[in-house]
Amino acid sequence: MTDFTLSFDFSNTQLNSEVLNLPQKIAKEKGVRIVVCLDEFQQVAEFDNALYFQRKLRSAWQLHQDITYCLYGSKKHLMTKLFSKQSMPFYKFGDVIYLQKSGWGDV
Protein backbone atom coordinates (compact mmCIF):
# COMPACT_ATOMS: atom_id res chain seq x y z
CA MET A 1 0.00 0.00 0.00
CA THR A 2 2.88 2.33 -0.82
CA ASP A 3 2.64 4.97 -3.53
CA PHE A 4 5.78 6.31 -5.16
CA THR A 5 7.00 7.73 -8.44
CA LEU A 6 10.00 6.46 -10.36
CA SER A 7 11.44 7.73 -13.60
CA PHE A 8 14.30 6.69 -15.83
CA ASP A 9 16.32 8.71 -18.28
CA PHE A 10 17.76 6.36 -20.87
CA SER A 11 17.97 6.03 -24.60
CA ASN A 12 16.67 3.01 -26.49
CA THR A 13 20.22 1.76 -26.96
CA GLN A 14 20.59 1.47 -23.18
CA LEU A 15 17.32 -0.41 -22.79
CA ASN A 16 17.92 -3.86 -21.35
CA SER A 17 15.99 -6.72 -19.85
CA GLU A 18 17.29 -6.07 -16.34
CA VAL A 19 15.43 -2.75 -16.14
CA LEU A 20 12.28 -4.10 -17.80
CA ASN A 21 12.18 -7.13 -15.54
CA LEU A 22 12.88 -5.22 -12.30
CA PRO A 23 9.23 -5.19 -11.10
CA GLN A 24 8.94 -8.96 -11.55
CA LYS A 25 12.27 -9.54 -9.82
CA ILE A 26 11.22 -7.43 -6.82
CA ALA A 27 7.81 -9.10 -6.62
CA LYS A 28 9.36 -12.56 -6.72
CA GLU A 29 12.03 -11.76 -4.12
CA LYS A 30 9.53 -10.10 -1.75
CA GLY A 31 6.73 -12.61 -2.36
CA VAL A 32 4.24 -9.88 -3.30
CA ARG A 33 2.16 -8.81 -6.27
CA ILE A 34 2.83 -5.35 -7.69
CA VAL A 35 0.69 -2.99 -9.73
CA VAL A 36 2.67 -0.73 -12.08
CA CYS A 37 0.70 2.31 -13.29
CA LEU A 38 1.94 4.32 -16.25
CA ASP A 39 0.12 7.52 -17.17
CA GLU A 40 0.14 9.06 -20.65
CA PHE A 41 1.25 5.71 -22.06
CA GLN A 42 0.36 6.81 -25.59
CA GLN A 43 3.62 8.78 -25.60
CA VAL A 44 5.52 5.55 -26.34
CA ALA A 45 4.34 6.04 -29.92
CA GLU A 46 6.41 9.24 -30.10
CA PHE A 47 9.73 7.75 -28.95
CA ASP A 48 12.64 7.29 -31.31
CA ASN A 49 12.40 3.72 -32.63
CA ALA A 50 8.91 3.54 -31.12
CA LEU A 51 7.97 0.09 -32.42
CA TYR A 52 11.26 -1.38 -31.24
CA PHE A 53 10.70 0.09 -27.77
CA GLN A 54 7.12 -1.20 -27.64
CA ARG A 55 8.21 -4.69 -28.74
CA LYS A 56 10.85 -4.77 -25.98
CA LEU A 57 8.28 -3.73 -23.37
CA ARG A 58 5.72 -6.26 -24.55
CA SER A 59 8.20 -9.13 -24.77
CA ALA A 60 9.30 -8.57 -21.17
CA TRP A 61 5.95 -7.66 -19.61
CA GLN A 62 3.97 -10.54 -21.09
CA LEU A 63 6.10 -12.97 -19.07
CA HIS A 64 5.56 -11.22 -15.72
CA GLN A 65 3.36 -13.33 -13.49
CA ASP A 66 3.30 -11.19 -10.35
CA ILE A 67 2.79 -7.79 -11.98
CA THR A 68 -0.34 -6.04 -13.16
CA TYR A 69 0.19 -3.18 -15.59
CA CYS A 70 -2.32 -0.32 -15.70
CA LEU A 71 -1.57 1.80 -18.73
CA TYR A 72 -3.40 5.13 -18.85
CA GLY A 73 -3.67 7.76 -21.54
CA SER A 74 -5.69 10.88 -22.19
CA LYS A 75 -5.60 10.63 -25.98
CA LYS A 76 -8.22 7.99 -26.74
CA HIS A 77 -7.45 7.70 -30.47
CA LEU A 78 -3.75 7.02 -29.79
CA MET A 79 -4.46 4.53 -27.00
CA THR A 80 -6.97 2.76 -29.24
CA LYS A 81 -4.34 2.48 -31.96
CA LEU A 82 -1.76 1.05 -29.53
CA PHE A 83 -4.06 -1.69 -28.22
CA SER A 84 -6.53 -2.37 -31.04
CA LYS A 85 -4.46 -2.26 -34.22
CA GLN A 86 -3.29 -5.76 -35.14
CA SER A 87 0.13 -4.61 -36.36
CA MET A 88 1.01 -2.94 -33.05
CA PRO A 89 3.08 -4.73 -30.36
CA PHE A 90 0.48 -4.11 -27.61
CA TYR A 91 -2.40 -5.50 -29.68
CA LYS A 92 -4.76 -7.31 -27.27
CA PHE A 93 -2.26 -6.92 -24.41
CA GLY A 94 -5.09 -6.66 -21.90
CA ASP A 95 -8.54 -5.30 -21.22
CA VAL A 96 -9.32 -1.84 -22.55
CA ILE A 97 -11.56 0.26 -20.33
CA TYR A 98 -12.81 3.69 -21.34
CA LEU A 99 -13.52 6.08 -18.48
CA GLN A 100 -15.82 9.06 -18.69
CA LYS A 101 -14.25 12.48 -18.32
CA SER A 102 -15.21 14.13 -15.08
CA GLY A 103 -14.61 17.68 -13.95
CA TRP A 104 -14.10 18.59 -10.31
CA GLY A 105 -17.63 19.98 -10.26
CA ASP A 106 -18.97 16.47 -10.91
CA VAL A 107 -17.46 15.02 -7.73
According to the model, what pLDDT value does residue 12 have? 46
Q: Where are the domains of the chain?
A: 12-106
Residues of the chain with pLDDT under 70: 1, 4-15, 104-107
**Residue 27 φ then ψ, to 5°:** -60, -45
Query: What was the pLDDT predicted at 87?
Result: 95
DSSP state of 90: T
**Phi, psi of 69, rounded to the nearest 5 degrees:** -105, 125
Q: How far apart are CA 11 and CA 48, in angstroms?
A: 9
**Per-residue pLDDT, 106:** 57
